[in-house]
Amino acid sequence: MRFGPERERGAALLTVLLLVAVIAVLAATMLERLRLSTRLAGNAAAIEQARAYAYAAETLALTRIDSILNQSPDRITLAGGWQNRPFGLPLPGGGVATARVADGGNCFNLNGLVGENEPGVYSSDPPMRTQFSRLLRLTGVPPQVAEQVAAGTADWIDTDDLVQPQGAEDAAYLRGEVPYRTSGTLMADVSELRAVAGVTPDLYRRIRPFVCALPVAQPARINVNTLLPEQAPLFSMFFPDGRLPPEAAQQYLLRRPAQGYGDPNQLLAGPASAGITPDIPPQFSAKTRWFALRVDVSLGGTTVEERALIDANALPARLVSRQWGEAS
């Protein structure tokens, strides 16, 4: 069959139209990718700029902490209202960076569940397991679950493969639907606790305000002058079950003198007068070593959140860790 000139011209026109359509689609796709790449590059630049301002806020916070420590070297109290008081850093274009400093050592240090025998080698500390189990019970966790979680957390951190009574080592986790192993070293973040056997979302929510993961295998020393009434379980955990309920501990904290205690054991005088004595030696202090820093930066349509830990064991204070995003 032979095609006439008109049919050939029609086929050629159809081919051209198809090519134009394909080229248009390709061009639209490339333009969309270019637009997306430009936006991503712009967002990345804005985030980096916001982080740079967060670093500036860190410097201001470190200066403020040094000032607090220099003004009162023998004790740190809540005088002056420094804790969680926002201080801002105005930014170009109407942006702002807001920093807040708080006592970061009034907590149960999960890494204190072990002791460091030699560099990088950790073993479980039974008295600290007992203390952690008691703190869990004070937040409403059933006793059997509290014992399981306390032992399991110690097993998670220690470097051996010996299972504590009611604890869990690698073998228990490898049998799970999603197998994994214990860390065998200090926790880098409190959120690791969620991976420990027996820890449910509800349990984690209950205990989260009272625990931390300081970068040392030592118990956190509670500053009796900055411990807040809502943190009363951290006071009650040193006493036998039921002897000093958090409600009673709150009352002793509320009676604390405005100038604080020079001798941290003065906080025990109130319970002692009522015949209540601790059965675990309290890890008390009149000073603060660890400070928690929160920085929120708003710059145009970009927001950046930072959480950091500051070590003020020696001056000048130094930042030892930072985390971007909301606290876990």
Domain-wise residue ranges, the chain: 53-104+289-325, 106-220, 227-283
- DSSP-assigned beta bridge partners for residue 289: none
Average pLDDT in the chain: 90
What is the length of the chain?
A: 328
Cα–Cα dist 43/59, whole Å: 25
- How close are the terminal C-alpha atoms of the chain, in Å? 76
Between 126-138 and 143-157, two packed helices, what is the crossing angle to 10 degrees? Answer: 140
Q: Which two tokens stand for residue 321?
A: 């860790």
- DSSP-assigned beta bridge partners for residue 123: 115
Residue 250, CA atoms < 13 Å, CB-side half-sphere: 6
Helices in 85-199 by DSSP H: which ranges? 126-138, 143-157, 170-174
Buried/exposed code over 65-85 (b: 16+ C-beta within 10 A; e: otherwise): beebbeebeebbbbeeebbee
Over residues 151-155, mean pLDDT: 97
Measured CA distances, 280 to 121, 130, 218 (Å): 25, 9, 15
Cα–Cα dist 221/278, whole Å: 16
| Superfamily the domain 106-220 falls into | EpsJ-like (1.10.40.60)
Q: Which two tokens stand for residue 125?
A: 């500390």
| Superfamily the domain 53-104+289-325 falls into | GSPII I/J protein-like (3.30.1300.30)
- Give the strand pairing for 302-311 and 114-118: unpaired
Over residues 263-275, mean pLDDT: 94
pLDDT tier at 326, thresholds 50, 70, 90:
low
Among 53-57, 135-139, 228-232, the minimum mean pLDDT is found in 53-57
Q: Which two tokens stand for residue 184?
A: 């065998």
Residue 200: pLDDT above 70? yes
Over residues 312-319, mean pLDDT: 93
Contact at 8 Å (CB) between 50 and 96?
no
Q: Which two tokens stand for residue 51?
A: 């982080």
Cα–Cα dist 231/180, whole Å: 34
3-state helix, strand, coil in the chain (%, to 5): 45, 15, 40
Q: Which pLDDT tens digit goes with each residue over 227-247?
A: 999 999 999 999 999 999 999
Q: What is the dihedral of CA 106, 110, 116, 120, to 10 degrees?
A: -120
Residue 102, CA atoms < 13 Å, CB-side half-sphere: 14
Cα–Cα dist 172/237, whole Å: 29
| Residue 2, pLDDT score | 53
Q: Which pLDDT tens digit goes with each residue over 1-24?
A: 455 566 666 777 777 778 877 787
Q: What is the percent of the chain with per-residue pLDDT over 90, rounded to a whole number?
A: 70
Q: What is the percent of the chain with per-residue pLDDT over 70, rounded to a whole number?
A: 93
